Structure 1
């Protein structure tokens, strides 16, 4: 008899440990506090949507600052592979005349939740802008030597009159090489 009671208690205990979605005594579904906290934190991040014209102005600044503009999407594996390299360079070059901007152009549906959550998780809230690619006119891709919008990630570097472009994911070494060559 003791074994049956003990077995029943163990089964009941394990069943009550379910974390994600439980029903309380009134039969109302509840969620755990971490789910609520994560949604609240992501909602607090407000990313700025800019126009094609503002983006072009940022891409064409010709001064002593190095502008590194990376076009990405949160669903893009190669984009996500290079993000740690960029984060490391942002930290390394803090206080130097270098400005990093990440442009999400492809997944407007993710702008409300996925992109803000990504920005918060990676401490990139002040570096990400949103641009609606459906509003690009034919002149937009004329700002680049090689890129026609057919692949991401794509990174555009500009310092003064010097520009560099990389289509595809960059290794940490390649990113360092591009930045160092333009900072000379």
Structure 2
């Protein structure tokens, strides 16, 4: 019995080391906005998505490409899940075990009602997927499924290139 328990512990540690087990923090929308709106050299690429949204899932590889293109540069991709907080264990974590997502994933905790949506961007209807790219005083917003080329254009606009 002890050997089985030690084997299971070793497997668990190995999976964690390989990145199979992920930490997905709950982050209040106000905290996220404060973080990305604080002036810095970092360009934040924030994608609002959910596990049940097929266009959201389809575009994840496009965001994975950003990580490779800007490796070592101050560009941070944040996948802001809008799944319900009580679905983290049942939907979000299993989703991440079965899909390649190479960047930070948070569970976005939002207040009831949609008042917070206009704080992200006045043009946002609340539909997902939606992407906000922000750096210092520049920002770009896109509602709908996005591709790598458009992401690169938006990052260029925000960085001043």
Q: Which segment drifts farther, 140-149 or 72-81?
A: 140-149
Q: 1:49 to 1:162 in 2, by over 3 A?
A: same
TM-score by length of 1: 0.68
Unaligned runs of 5+ in 1: 1-36
Q: Is it true that 1:166 corresponds to 2:142 in the alignment?
A: yes
Q: Distance in 1 between the 2:76 and 2:23 partners?
A: 20
Unaligned runs of 5+ in 2: 1-11
Q: Is the 8 A contact 1:69 1:103 kept in 2?
A: yes
TM-score by length of 2: 0.76
Q: Distance in 2 between the 1:137 and 1:59 partners?
A: 20
Q: Distance in 1 between the 2:146 and 2:101 partners?
A: 20
- Bigger Rg over Cα: 1
Number of equivalenced pairs: 144
Q: Distance in 2 between the 1:92 and 1:118 partners?
A: 25
In the alignment, what sits opposite 1:142? 119
Structure 2 residue corresponding to 1:122, chosen from 100, 111, 125: 100
In the alignment, what sits opposite 1:70? 47
Q: Distance in 2 between the 1:91 and 1:107 partners?
A: 30
Q: Distance in 2 between the 1:117 and 1:181 partners?
A: 35
Q: Is the 8 A contact 1:52 1:136 kept in 2?
A: no
In the alignment, what sits opposite 2:29? 52
RMSD: 2.6
* CA deviation string 1:116-162 (max 9, x = no partner): 233343144x510112234567355234131142x000100111101
